[in-house]
Chain A
Amino acid sequence: MSPRSWSRIVLGLALYCGVFVVTCAVGGMAYFHFANPQNTCASCHEMTGVHSDWAVSAHRTIQCRACHGGALTLDVHALESHVDRIVRHFTGDPNKPVRLLEKHVQGLVDSCQRCHPQAYSDWQSSRHATTYARIFLDPEHNKTASPTDDCLRCHGMFYERDITELVSGTGTGGTWSLRDAARATQPAIPCLACHQVHAPSDATQTASFFDHRERAHFSASLLPVPAVYQGARPVKVSRDPRQRVCMQCHAPDATHQLGSSDDRTPAGVHEGLSCRDCHWSHTNSAKASCNACHPADSHCGIEVQKMDTTFLSPQSRHNVHTVACLDCHPGGIPAKKVASGSPADLP
Chain B
Amino acid sequence: MNDPLPAPGDGPAISRRAALKLGLVGVLGAAVGAGSTAVIARLGRAARPRYRFFTDAEANLLIDICEQIIPRDDVPGATDTGAINYIDRQLCGRLSRHQETYRRGLESFRQTCLQARGAPFGELAPAAKIEALRSLELGEAPRALWGDPSAPEFFNLVLSHTMQSFYGSPRHGGNRDYASYRMLGLDYPQVVGQNRYKKA
Contact = CB atoms under 8 A, between A and B. Distances in A.
Task: Answer yes or no: A and B touching, Cβ < 8 Å.
Answer: yes
Contacts of B188: 224
A166 interface: no
A2 B5 contact: yes
Nearest to B44: A39
Given A35-B44, A94-B52, A94-B92, A23 B30 contact: yes
A5 B33 contact: no
Given A93-B93, A310-B200, A251 B192 contact: yes
Interface stretch (B68-76, B107-115, B169-177): B169-177
A258 to B, nearest CB: 12
Given A8-B1, A19-B26, A28-B36, A226 B191 contact: yes
A247 B190 CA distance: 11
Interface string A83-104: 0000000000111010000000
Interface string B74-96: 00000000000000011011000
A15 interface: yes
A263 B196 CA distance: 12
Contact of B170 (A26, A31, A216): A216
Interface in B17-66: 21-22, 25-26, 28-30, 32-34, 36-37, 40-41, 44-45, 48, 52
B37 A27 contact: yes
Contacts of B10: none
Contacts of B37: 24, 27-28, 30-31
A127 to B, nearest CB: 10
Interface stretch (A54-62, A174-182, A207-215, A290-298): A207-215
Nearest to A49: B85
A211 B186 CA distance: 16
A19 B44 contact: no
B31 to A, nearest CB: 8
Interface in B166-200: 169-171, 173, 177-178, 181-182, 186-189, 191-197, 199-200
Interface residues of A, number: 61
B123 interface: no
Nearest to A95: B93
B37 to A, nearest CB: 3
Given A12-B25, A251-B192, A264-B199, A27 B36 contact: yes
Contact of B177 (A22, A31, A222): A222
A5 B200 contact: no
A218 B189 contact: yes
Contacts of A248: 189, 191
A262 B93 contact: no
B193 A23 contact: no
A17 B25 CA distance: 9
A174 to B, nearest CB: 14
A218 B178 contact: yes
Contacts of B189: 209, 211, 213-214, 218, 223-224, 248
A20 interface: yes
Contacts of A9: 1
B36 A252 contact: no
A260 interface: yes
Interface string A247-283: 1101111100001111110000000000000000000
A141 interface: yes
A228 to B, nearest CB: 10
9 contacts: A5-B1, A16-B28, A24-B36, A209-B189, A223-B189, A253-B193, A260-B193, A261-B192, A262-B196
Given A214-B171, A216-B171, A224-B182, 15 more contacts: A5-B1, A12-B25, A19-B29, A19-B33, A23-B34, A39-B45, A97-B171, A141-B196, A209-B189, A224-B191, A247-B191, A251-B191, A251-B193, A252-B191, A259-B199
Interface of B: 1, 3, 5, 21-22, 25-26, 28-30, 32-34, 36-37, 40-41, 44-45, 48, 52, 89-90, 92-93, 169-171, 173, 177-178, 181-182, 186-189, 191-197, 199-200
Interface of A: 1-2, 4-5, 8-9, 12, 15-20, 22-24, 26-28, 30-31, 35, 39-40, 43, 45, 93-95, 97, 141, 144-145, 150, 209, 211, 213-216, 218, 222-224, 226, 247-248, 250-254, 259-264, 310, 314, 319
